Amino acid sequence: MDAQVTRPTSANSQTRNAGYATQPPLQRFLASCHEEFKADDSGNVADYIPELKRADPSHFGIALVTIDGHIYEVGDSAVPFTIQSVSKAFVFALALEMVGEERVAATIGVEPSGEAFNSIRLTSDNRPFNPMVNAGAIACSGLIHEVDGADAFERIREKLSQFAGRQLGVDDAVHQSEVITGNRNRAIAWLLRNYSVIQGDVDAVLDTYFRQCAVLVTARDLAVMAATLANRGINPVTGVQVIAPNVVARTLSVMTSSGMYDYAGEWVYRVGMPAKSGVGGGIVAALPSQIGLGTFSPRLDSHGNSARGLKVCEALSSRFDLHMLNRSADVRTCVIADYDLFGISSRRSRQPHEQQILDEHHSDIRVIELVGALNFAAIDYVTRRLAGEPPNAPLLVLDFRRVPDLTSAGAQLLGENLTILGNAGVTAILTGIEATSAVWLAIRARTGEPHRLRRFALLDEAIEWAEDQIVYRYGGFTVSKETSHLGEQALLAELTPDEIAALADLSTARRYEAGQRIISAGEPANSLFFLQNGMVSVKLPSGVRLASLGPGMEFGEMAIIEQRRSADVWADTQVKCLELPLDSFADYRQLHPQIAMKIMRNLSALLARRLILANAKVDLLSAY
């Protein structure tokens, strides 16, 4: 996947954004934040790790990544620095993935400590307070070390790289510097060893931790990492599922309660985004389902959080109202259309007696088109709608083509509802989802009446299948017999028997096997066909079906007004038809002008009917 980048200073992005008369508003906002806060030189560069003193205090970068993978960048967003404590959030996620929820919970708490990141205090049962302070993070590295031993760091580096969407390296000088001076962390680690929170080689665990803190990232990397958390674990730039959604929720929880150390409460209150900071000057902030933010500025405030980074987060949150608890939604918007088959149909053309059955029983098929990510509340609304008016139709089509996601609570409610409906004789037909999709598998697993549950990839296929059930139920299925004469063709209405006979003489009998292509889109259109036996489908080259036709219907008739075939026609079964060359229309010695006139008139009537049908659909859908 190619990430879109908005970065006014790079020549490359200027060409990409040539279409913008002005920069997108968010880019301008970030640029104005950068301009405003770069004047702030409060705070100090961390110096307790000697090598960190070398950081340039003027560096200031901001990057923001949307969950569709667009990257906004301002300032020093490509300058590398050490990740430090920002790694804690991602390594916690890795530990959860590797050893599981229970093991992690037995080792590390999730309560805010209210203390500084390097506090040596443990809980009353001698565990670290949470994985976002040093004690908890060292314990996390210990859990990973228990599984991977000497490969633990490589495993961590690989995971952080997946979050960032590129291979990350290590600043060896910073690593060495912390190895030499990190006695406080050494004390914490030995205390943890004393309480068996760390089992095994303390020095090796510490080295893993120090190395993970020295991984080099940029503000842009942090923004991609945050956006991966905001996007339920899928890196929006690479498309890779880096971590499971339930791990993401747990990680964001501890970031919310403890990510900013002893500033955490204030942070949630004011900014309201899960975040994590590091003494290297980085901050990540993730707003679920919306954005990931990464900032870099090495001057730290008294809590050890980047002073300018904090300001950027606060400004962004207040300017765009991004507090995670400030949300609103209207569940009713999840239904964009709810209709029966009055005046509409699948693209299968029906014999007149079949159409009559369908017209009479149009309310036996109900179609509900859903939209958006569906959660518990949205599905609850759908179930209440199904329980209300009109009463249940025996065939219920639920269209999921615009539904990217369904929560498991939503799947649970829907499954229960479909089971109840199934017991009451309703067949539910789900459309717009593939057999392998998570949404389909979740619903199917929770529906007790599998034979009352069907799935089609396309809404049109589902409606056709439902129509077939209705036609069948009311005895309308007849074995399609050969049309005895051309007089039954709609296009040839009003022709006298002599005229029909003349036409038959000019035509050639054709036979096709099932699966054979009869007409190809793009070819010159120089004949039309009268279908006598079997079924054909008119499809666009993309595979989208425009119509299915049976005996007594014509195809290729648009040749009369178009020079080229606009669609493919395939034989669905064995097919017998008559092909009439168009030349005969131009030559009065072959086809009398009066016959041609009648055919043209019939064609106009056919086209008018199609237009009326199309208008009815437009009208129906615009009502929602």
254 makes contact with ligand GLN (CB under 6 A) = no
Contacts of 600 (CB under 8 A, 6+ apart): 560
Residue 84 within binding range of ligand GLN, rule CB under 6 A: yes
For the CA atoms of 20, 26, 32, 37, what is the dihedral angle to 10 degrees? Answer: -150
Closest to ligand GLN by CB, 55 or 531? 55
119 binds ligand GLN (CB under 6 A): no
Binding-residue total with ligand GLN (CB under 6 A): 11
178 in a labelled binding site: yes
Nearer to ligand GLN by Cβ, of 298 and 304: the residue is: 304
The answer to whether residue 27 forms part of the interface with ligand GLN (CB under 6 A) is no
Q: Following DSSP, what letter does each residue of 193-215 receive, concatenated? A: HHTTSS-S-HHHHHHHHHHHHTB
Among 60, 92, 117, 163, binds ligand GLN (CB under 6 A): 117
- Give the nearer residue to ligand GLN in terms of CB position, either 85 or 349: 85
DSSP string covering 249-301? HHHHHHHHHHTTGGGHHHHHHHT-S-EEE-TTSEEEEEETTTEEEEEE--EE-
> Does residue number 534 form part of the binding site for ligand GLN (CB under 6 A)?
no
Q: Is the distance from CB of 7 to CB of 278 less than 8 angstroms?
A: no
Residue position matching structure tokens 């070390």: 145
Q: Which residue, 278 or 288, has its beta carbon nearer to ligand GLN?
A: 278
Q: Closest distance between ligand GLN and the C-beta of residue 91, in Å?
A: 12
- Element (H or E) spanning 600, and its range? helix 593-622
CB of 130 to ligand GLN, least distance (A): 13
The residue among 79 and 620 lying less far from ligand GLN, judged by its C-beta, is 79
| Nearer CB in complex with ligand GLN: 233/278 | 278
Query: Minimum Å distance from CB 142 to ligand GLN?
Result: 14
Query: Smallest distance from the beta carbon of 294 to ligand GLN, in angstroms?
Result: 15
To the nearest whole angstrom, how small is the minimum distance from the Cβ of residue 213 to ligand GLN? 3
Binds ligand GLN by CB under 6 A, chosen from 272, 278, 415, 476: 278
Q: Give how far Cα 70 sits from Cα of 127, 220, 290, 291, 600, Å.
A: 40, 11, 11, 10, 54
Q: How far is the CB of 176 from ligand GLN (least distance, A)?
A: 13
Distance in angstroms (rounded) separating the CA atoms of residues 139 and 105: 11
Per DSSP, what are the bridge partners of residue 82?
A: 216
Question: What does the block give as tokens for 436?
Answer: 């392998």
The contact mask relative to ligand GLN for 176-195 (x = CB under 6 A, - = no) is: --x------x----------
Q: Is 85 annotated as a binding residue?
A: yes
Buried b (16+ CB within 10 A) or exposed e, 122-155: beeeebbbbbbbbbbbbbbbbbbbbeeeeebbeb
Taking CB under 6 A as the criterion, the residue among 6, 77, 119, 134 binding ligand GLN is: 134
Smallest separation (angstroms) from ligand GLN to the CB of 293: 18
Listed in sequence order, the residues at least 6 apart from 138 whose beta carbon sits closer than 8 Å to its beta carbon are 128, 185, 188, 189, 192, 198, 205, 206, 209
Gap between the Cα atoms of 322 and 325, Å rounded: 8
| Residue number, 141 or 532, with CB nearest to ligand GLN | 141
Q: How far apart are CA 76 and CA 37, in angstroms?
A: 13
Residue 279 Cβ, how far from ligand GLN at the closest point, in Å? Answer: 4
Query: Is residue 146 within the footprint of ligand GLN (CB under 6 A)?
Result: no
Backbone dihedral angles phi then psi of residue 552, each to the nearest 5 degrees: 90, -5
Residue 197 marked ligand-binding: no
Nearest by Cα to 60 from 49, 47, 74: 74
From the CB of 421, what's the least distance to ligand GLN, in Å? Answer: 55
x/- track of binding to ligand GLN for residues 447-486 (CB under 6 A): ----------------------------------------
- Region for 289 from its dihedrals, namely left if φ exceeds 0, alpha if ψ lies in -120 to 50, beta otherwise: left
Whichever of 152 and 393 has its CB closer to ligand GLN, that residue is 152
Does position 52 bind ligand GLN by CB under 6 A?
no
Q: Name the minimum Å distance from CB 54 to ligand GLN.
A: 15
79 or 179: CB nearest ligand GLN: 179
Distance, in Å, from the CA atom of 226 to the CA atom of 236, rounded to the nearest integer, reads 10
Judged by DSSP in three states, 65 sits in strand
Restricting to residues 553-572, name those near ligand GLN by CB under 6 A.
none
Helix H or strand E encompassing 380: helix 376-387
Cβ-based neighbour number of residue 498 at 10 Å: 10
Where residue 313 falls (left for φ over 0; alpha for ψ -120 to 50; beta otherwise) is alpha
Measured from the CB atom, the residue of 89 and 571 that comes closer to ligand GLN is 89
Which residues neighbour 43 within 8 Å (Cβ) at sequence distance 6 or greater? Answer: 299, 300, 301, 306, 307
Find out whether 13 is annotated in a ligand binding site.
Answer: no
Q: Which residue in 77, 113, 118, 208 binds ligand GLN (CB under 6 A)?
A: 118
- State which residue, 279 or 525, has the beta carbon closest to ligand GLN: 279
Q: Tell me: cis bond preceding 274? Omega within 30 of 0 counts.
A: no
Ligand-binding annotation for 279, yes or no, is yes
Q: What does DSSP assign to residue 80?
A: -
Does residue 171 bind ligand GLN (CB under 6 A)? no
Q: How far is the CB of 49 from ligand GLN (least distance, A)?
A: 7
Judged by CB under 6 A, the chain residues 279 through 338 that form the site for ligand GLN are 279, 304
How many of the other CB atoms lie within 10 Å of CB of 496?
A: 12
Q: Which residue is nearest to ligand GLN (CB)?
A: 85
- Shortest CB 133 distance to ligand GLN, Å: 8
Task: Output 81 or 400, the one with its CB closest to ligand GLN.
Answer: 81
Distance CA 359, CA 352 (A): 10
Minimum distance, C-beta of residue 263 to ligand GLN, in the bound complex (Å): 12
Helix (H, G, I), strand (E, B) or coil at 512: strand
Q: Does 257 bind ligand GLN (CB under 6 A)?
A: no
User: CA nearest 341: which of 527, 613, 594, 123?
Assistant: 613
Shortest Å distance, C-beta 315 to ligand GLN: 23
Which position among 104, 140, 213, 430 is part of the footprint of ligand GLN (CB under 6 A)? 213
Q: Is 5 in the site for ligand GLN (CB under 6 A)?
A: no
Asked if 403 touches ligand GLN (CB under 6 A), the answer is no
Of 81 and 117, the one with the shorter C-beta distance to ligand GLN is 117
Nearest by Cα to 355 from 439, 460, 471, 247: 471
- Which residues belong to the annotated binding site for substrate? 85, 134, 178, 185, 209, 261, 279
Q: Can you give the binding site for ligand GLN, defined by CB under 6 A? A: 84-85, 117-118, 134, 178, 185, 213, 278-279, 304
- Which residues belong to the annotated binding site? 85, 134, 178, 185, 209, 261, 279
